[in-house]
Amino acid sequence: MAYLCPTFNLINICMSYNLLKGKKGIIFGALNDQSIAWKVAEKAHEEGAVFTLSNTAVALRLGTLDELAKKTNSEIIHADATNVAEIEKVFARTMEIYGGKIDFVLHSIGMSPNVRKGIPYDNIDYPNFLKTLDISALSFHKMLQVARKMDAINEWGSVVALSYVAAQRTLFGYNDMADAKSLLESIARSFGYIYGRDKKIRINTISQSPTRTTAGSGVSGIDTLIDFTERMSPLGNASAEDCADYCITMFSDLTKKVTMQNLFHDGGFSSMGMSYKAITQYNKSFEECD
C-alpha cells in the first residue's frame, strides 16, 4: 500500500505491504531513535502489527521510549530482562491487552559491564562476565521459557534476537559480548528445536552489521570497525532500518519454515576473506614502509 507519510516534511511515499496485519507482539530493547528495536517498532506499526514495548525502568528514564509508544499507539511495560517474574509480567499484560496469544517477539538487548568499563578480556571481572551473559543471552532463554510455560505464542509465531559476527570470528574489542552472542545463537538452536517440534514456533537470530547505536558506540573502535566492514562488504553495511526490514520479514508468514538459524544481515561481510580494495590498501601500506 502506498500512502503519504505524515512524519516527513517533504511529500514522501512509504511502501507498506501489510505483512504483519493482525499480528500482535512484544518488542524488547528500544531505548532511543537510534536503537534497532525502535526501527523495528516503526516498521512493524507501518506493516499493521500491534505490540507492547519493554525496557528497564532506568532505560525508560534515560531514553525516549514514551515518544515511540505514542507514535505506535503501544503500551510500555518495564522489565529487567534478567528477572523471570518481570518477564512474566510483560507477557501476561500483553496477552491481557490483546485478549490472547501473540505472534512475534523481538529480543534486542545487549550489555557488557566489562566493555562499558573498558576491562580487557584477559583481565576480565567474573561477576561482570556473568552479568554480560545474563543480560545479553540468558535473558533470551528466560523469555522463551516464560512464553512456553504461559503458552503465550500462536502456532507459526516468530521470535528473533539480534546477534553479531563476533560469535563466529574474533573481532578486536568485542570482549565478552562475543561469548554472549555465541550463547545467544546456541539458545536459538536448542530452544528452536523444542518450540518448533511442540508448537510450530520458529526462533532465529539475525547477525547485524556494526551500527551506530548506544550499545554499538560502547564497542572500542566502533567507527574504524564500521568503516572497515563497509569497505569489505560487497553490498556495504546494513543500516538499522535495513535490519528492521529483515526482522519484519522474519515475523511475517513469508518465512514460516525458517527456524534455528543465525541469519547474517551484513552486506556479505561474514563471507568475505579479502577484497580487492583491502588488498590494494594492504600493498600500499608496505610501499610506504619501503
Ligand X SMILES: NC(=O)c1ccc[n+]([C@@H]2O[C@H](COP(=O)([O-])OP(=O)(O)OC[C@H]3O[C@@H](n4cnc5c(N)ncnc54)[C@H](O)[C@@H]3O)[C@@H](O)[C@H]2O)c1
Q: How far apart are CA 230 and CA 238, in angstroms?
A: 9
Q: Compare residues 135 and 153 and give the one whose CB is closer to ligand X.
A: 135
Binding mask 49-68 for ligand X (x = CB under 6 A): ------xx--x---------
Helices 36-46 and 65-72 pack at an angle, to 10 degrees, of 10
The reply on whether position 267 binds ligand X by CB under 6 A is no
Determine if 210 is a binding residue for ligand X (CB under 6 A): yes
Using the minimum distance from each CB to ligand X, give the nearer residue, 16 or 32. Answer: 32
Segment 7-10 long-range contacts (CB within 8 Å, at least 24 positions apart): none
Q: Is 173 in the site for ligand X (CB under 6 A)?
A: no
Site for ligand X in 12-41 (CB under 6 A): 29, 31, 34-37
Query: Binding residue for ligand X (CB under 6 A) from 109, 147, 248, 263?
Result: 109
Helix (H) or strand (E) holding 223: helix 222-232
Q: Do the Cβ atoms of 231 and 225 come closer than 8 Å? A: no
- What is the nearest approach in angstroms of ligand X to the Cβ of residue 226? 8
Strands (E), 100-226: 102-107, 153-163, 202-208
By CB under 6 A, residue 216 contacts ligand X: yes
**All three cell numbers of 244:** 528492521
Cα–Cα nearest to 110, from 189, 223, 31, 18 = 31
Q: Does the protein bind ligand X through residue 213 (CB under 6 A)?
A: yes
Report if residue 80 touches ligand X, rule: CB under 6 A: yes
Q: How far apart are the first and last CA of the chain?
A: 60
Tell me how far, at minimum, the Cβ of 109 lies from ligand X, in Å. 4
- Find the shortest distance in angstroms from Cβ 122 to ligand X: 22
> Judged by CB under 6 A, does residue 215 bind ligand X?
yes
Q: Give the distance from CA 215 to its chain's centroid.
A: 11
Binding site residues, ligand X, CB under 6 A: 29, 31, 34-37, 55-56, 59, 80-82, 108-111, 135, 162-164, 208, 210-211, 213-216
